Amino acid sequence: MASPLYVSSTRRLTFDEVPEPLRAEIVAHAARASLLLREVGGWLTHRENPPSKSLFGRLFGSRSNSADPDPHHDVVLLLHPTHVVVGTHGPVRGSSVLSLPLAQATVARGGLLARALGPGADAPSDDGLTISGFPGTDGRPGTFFVGLGAGPDAEACFAAVSEAIVRIKNPG
Residue 118 burial (CB count, 10 A): 8
> Cα–Cα distance between 90 and 112 in angstroms, integer?
22
Q: What is the CATH number of domain 7-169?
A: 2.30.29
pLDDT value at residue 139 = 85
- Kindly report the CA angle at 27 between 22 and 30, in degrees rounded to 5? 120
Amino acid identity of 87?
G
Each domain of the chain, given as residue ranges in start order, spans 7-169
Q: Are strands 83-90 and 94-101 parallel, antiparallel or unpaired?
A: antiparallel
pLDDT tens for each residue of 147-169 = 898 899 999 999 999 999 999 99
pLDDT tens for each residue of 35-58 = 999 889 999 999 988 766 665 555
